[in-house]
């Protein structure tokens, strides 16, 4: 199908907000990217259409030969998806965003767009489990070399660069141990070696951190998490320069990794409250972390908001929202007289009454999971050890309930060990 839809952005009538007027981030979150139809609707509509009609045969031909830009097919472009892309790009301070069917769809798109056989992908050792699976099982199969480094060790990153390294990939904060990568330092290593730095910004979101401003080339999102924030739909996105997004867009529309218009609409509305929700998530998380840190049955809390965390100062410098370290944390439960570490962790999980036992995260509802037997179960024991996933580790995604209730729910299991 036509190549010209790649330039649709240039024709977009951003009716609701003139971005050249230098609006604040919260104004952008509420209003950017809206495309009003002639109906005069106030809220963003959902365009549930797979295809589009032309005025004539000549008009149709012009859409294909590059003479005219416009929608052709929703695998390529859709106005609801475009609204979400425009709003997210503005929030991340990127030139353009490309939406995908899921977060993994965005990571797969990144690989297919920027890597080929013989290239090397250098990744942080702490990543979302499926990202590791994608790299190890599928990119390796395509002849792409993959290796991992300690995400917190800048020298290790620099030393691991090879002549064929094309992408450096990290999450910050990371999953499941909420480690912080020094994005500015990594971007310097990447720039010096002509490597793309790709940052999965799922845990921080642009409400806390804008990696492109810190020197990253591409931002990845699982919109499934905080961008929706209420656990309803799957989606993902890439954000970056026009040139890099052009390559990603070509992969998405050819490979069919496109976002559904309904999901795009949910995410668009989610962005409006993102900062307010993230402030509340982070406020709760700080209280929960303090409780866990003081509990005798907890050996370690992985959360950069704690003042003795090695990346505390870095998180403060890198996150532009004050006192905000994200709301996802890992904590390690000690073995008790009659339970080993895994049994003790399961005891804590099984004694909750309110918190949801689910592997999803970034939800208004607090969620709890045991990574070693769920999200990271498919990894080899060596890969699990490399990712720091121990048997006593619990991952908690702190939601928007009352902090006291979240703490009480965790205390029930911890106090009875
Ligand atoms: C969930 C998640 C993904 C994958 O996103 P999906 O929408 O589930 O495909 C990628 N990275 C991180 C950090 C995640 O938490």
Ligand 1 center to 104 CA (angstroms)? 6
Mean per-residue pLDDT for 351-373?
96
- Nearest protein Cα to ligand 1, atom 5: 103
Mean per-residue pLDDT for 295-319?
97
* pLDDT value at residue 150: 92
* pLDDT value at residue 371: 93
- Both structure tokens of 294: 């003081």
What is the model's pTM?
Answer: 0.94
Give residue 15's pLDDT band: very low, low, confident or very high (50, 70, 90): low
| Index of the ligand 1 atom closest to the CA of residue 361 | 15
The chain-wide mean pLDDT, for the chain, equals 93
pLDDT in tens, 91-121: 999 999 999 999 999 999 999 999 999 999 9
* pLDDT value at residue 9: 54
* pLDDT value at residue 399: 98
- Flag whether pLDDT at 159 surpasses 60: yes
* pLDDT value at residue 1: 37
| 67 or 181, which is more confident | 181
pLDDT in tens, 35-87: 888 888 899 999 999 999 999 999 999 988 878 888 999 999 999 999 999 99
Q: Is 178 left (phi over 0), alpha (psi -120 to 50) or beta?
A: left
Give residue 2's pLDDT band: very low, low, confident or very high (50, 70, 90): very low
| 152 or 186, which is more confident | 186
Ligand 1 center to 297 CA (angstroms)? 30
Give residue 5's pLDDT band: very low, low, confident or very high (50, 70, 90): very low
Cβ of 222 below 6 Å from ligand 1: yes
- Both structure tokens of 165: 């390294």
**Which residue of 202, 235, 327 sits with most ligand 1 atoms within 8 Å of its CB, as the best mutation to test the pocket?**
202
Q: What is the DSSP string of 70-138?
A: ---BTTT--HHHHHHHHHHHHHHT-SEEEEESSHHHHHHHHHHHH--TT-EEEEESS--HHHHHIIIII
| DSSP-based three-state secondary structure for 20 | helix
* pLDDT value at residue 14: 56
Q: What is the C-alpha to C-alpha distance for residues 400 and 398, in angstroms, rounded to an integer?
A: 7
Least confident piece of the model among 24-33, 203-212, 231-240, 314-323: 24-33
Please state, in angstroms and as integers, the Cα–Cα distance from residue 202 to each residue in 15, 158, 228, 233, 403, following that order: 29, 24, 11, 15, 22
* pLDDT value at residue 376: 84
Cβ of 176 below 6 Å from ligand 1: no
CA neighbor of 397 nearest in space, from 254, 203, 139: 203
Ligand 1 center to 242 CA (angstroms)? 24
CA neighbor of 45 nearest in space, from 96, 100, 84, 88: 84
pLDDT in tens, 211-256: 999 999 999 999 999 999 999 999 999 999 999 999 999 999 999 9
- Flag whether pLDDT at 324 surpasses 70: yes
| Index of the ligand 1 atom closest to the CA of residue 362 | 15
| 189 or 5, which is more confident | 189
Ligand 1 center to 330 CA (angstroms)? 17
327 DSSP 8-state letter = S
Give the chain's domains with CATH numbers. 81-269 (3.40.640.10), 274-415 (3.90.1150.10)
* pLDDT value at residue 387: 76
- Flag whether pLDDT at 19 surpasses 80: no
pLDDT in tens, 374-388: 988 888 888 888 778
Handedness of CA 81, 86, 92, 94 (dihedral sign): positive
- Both structure tokens of 62: 């012009």
Ligand 1 center to 203 CA (angstroms)? 9
**Which residue of 110, 225, 374 sits with most ligand 1 atoms within 8 Å of its CB, as the best mutation to test the pocket?**
225
**Which residue of 108, 127, 224 sits with most ligand 1 atoms within 8 Å of its CB, as the best mutation to test the pocket?**
224
**Which residue of 99, 109, 175 sits with most ligand 1 atoms within 8 Å of its CB, as the best mutation to test the pocket?**
175
* pLDDT value at residue 13: 54
Contact between residue 325 and residue 286 where contact means Cβ atoms under 8 Å apart: yes
Cβ of 217 below 6 Å from ligand 1: no
- Both structure tokens of 158: 């620099």
Question: How remote is the C-alpha of 219 from its chain's centroid?
Answer: 8
Ligand 1 center to 238 CA (angstroms)? 12
| Index of the ligand 1 atom closest to the CA of residue 223 | 7
* pLDDT value at residue 3: 42
- Nearest protein Cα to ligand 1, atom 8: 103
* pLDDT value at residue 4: 42
- Flag whether pLDDT at 17 surpasses 90: no
Cβ of 225 below 6 Å from ligand 1: yes
Ligand 1 center to 59 CA (angstroms)? 40
Q: What is the C-alpha to C-alpha distance for residues 345 and 86, in angstroms, rounded to an integer?
A: 42
């Amino acid at each position: 199908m036509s190549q010209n839809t790649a330039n649709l952005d240039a024709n977009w009538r951003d009716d609701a907000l003139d971005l050249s007027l230098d609006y604040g981030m919260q104004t952008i979150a509420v209003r950017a990217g809206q495309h009003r139809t002639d109906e005069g609707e106030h809220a963003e509509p959902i365009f549930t259409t797979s295809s589009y009609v032309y005025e004539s045969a000549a008009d149709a031909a012009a859409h294909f030969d590059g003479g005219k830009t416009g929608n052709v097919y929703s695998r390529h472009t859709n106005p609801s998806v475009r609204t979400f892309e425009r709003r997210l790009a503005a929030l991340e301070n990127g030139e353009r965003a490309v939406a995908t069917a899921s977060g993994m769809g965005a990571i797969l798109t990144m690989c297919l767009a920027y890597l080929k056989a013989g290239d090397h992908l250098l990744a942080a050792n702490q990543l979302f489990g499926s990202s590791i699976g994608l790299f190890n099982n599928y990119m390796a199969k395509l002849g792409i070399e993959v290796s991992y480094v300690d995400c917190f060790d800048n020298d290790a990153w620099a030393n691991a660069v090879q002549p064929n390294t094309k992408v450096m990939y990290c999450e910050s904060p990371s999953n499941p141990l909420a480690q912080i990568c020094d994005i500015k330092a990594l971007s310097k290593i990447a720039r010096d070696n002509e490597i793309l730095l790709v940052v999965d910004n799922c845990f921080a979101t642009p409400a806390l951190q804008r990696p492109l401003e810190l020197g990253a080339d591409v931002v990845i999102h699982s919109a499934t998490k905080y961008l929706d924030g209420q656990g309803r739909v799957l989606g993902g996105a890439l954000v970056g320069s026009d040139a890099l997004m052009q390559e990603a867009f070509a992969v998405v529309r050819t490979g069919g990794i496109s976002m559904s218009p309904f999901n795009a609409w949910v995410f668009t509305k989610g962005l409006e409250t993102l900062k307010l929700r993230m402030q509340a998530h982070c406020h709760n998380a700080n209280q929960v972390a303090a409780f866990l840190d003081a509990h005798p049955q907890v050996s370690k809390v992985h959360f950069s908001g704690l003042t003795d965390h090695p990346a505390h100062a870095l998180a403060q410098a890198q996150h532009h929202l004050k006192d905000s370290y994200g709301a996802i944390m890992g904590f390690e439960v000690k073995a008790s007289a009659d339970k080993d570490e895994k049994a003790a962790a399961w005891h804590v999980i099984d004694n909750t009454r309110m918190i949801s036992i689910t592997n999803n995260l970034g939800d208004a509802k607090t969620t709890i999971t045991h990574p070693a037997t769920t999200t990271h179960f498919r990894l080899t024991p060596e890969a699990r050890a490399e990712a720091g996933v121990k048997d006593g580790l619990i991952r908690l995604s702190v939601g928007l309930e009352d902090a006291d209730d979240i703490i009480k729910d965790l205390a029930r299991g911890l106090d009875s060990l």
